[in-house]
Amino acid sequence: MAANVQQINVASQEELESTIMSYIAQGFSVSNRSADSVTLFKKNEFNVLWAVIGFFLCLLPLLVYCIIYATQSDQMIVIKVASVTPGLSAASSATWSDDREWWWDGSRWRDTQLELPPDVIFAEDGRTWWDGLEWRAVPAQDAEAMAPRAEAPAEPPAPPPAPSA
Over the stretch 35-92, which tens digit does the pLDDT of each residue have?
Answer: 888 898 888 777 788 777 777 777 777 788 888 888 887 777 777 776 545 445 545 5
- Same domain membership, residue 95 and residue 65: no
Return the closest-CA partner of residue 18 out of 79, 109, 101. Answer: 79
27 pLDDT higher than 80:
yes
- Same domain membership, residue 38 and residue 68: yes
Dihedral angle computed from the Cα positions of residues 92, 97, 99 and 102, in that order, rounded to the nearest 10 degrees: -80
Residue 89 to residue 155: CA distance in whole angstroms = 39
Which residue range forms the structural domain that includes residue 77?
Answer: 4-81
- Same domain membership, residue 135 and residue 76: no
- Same domain membership, residue 97 and residue 69: no
Confirm whether 119 is domain-assigned: yes
Contact between residue 32 and residue 38 where contact means Cβ atoms under 8 Å apart? yes
pTM of the model: 0.36
Is 131 exposed, middle or buried, given 0-12, 13-18 or 19+ CB atoms closer than 10 A?
Answer: buried
Per-residue pLDDT of 150-165, as tens digits, reads 454 555 566 667 666 5
Q: Which of 81, 111, 126 is the last residue of a domain?
A: 81
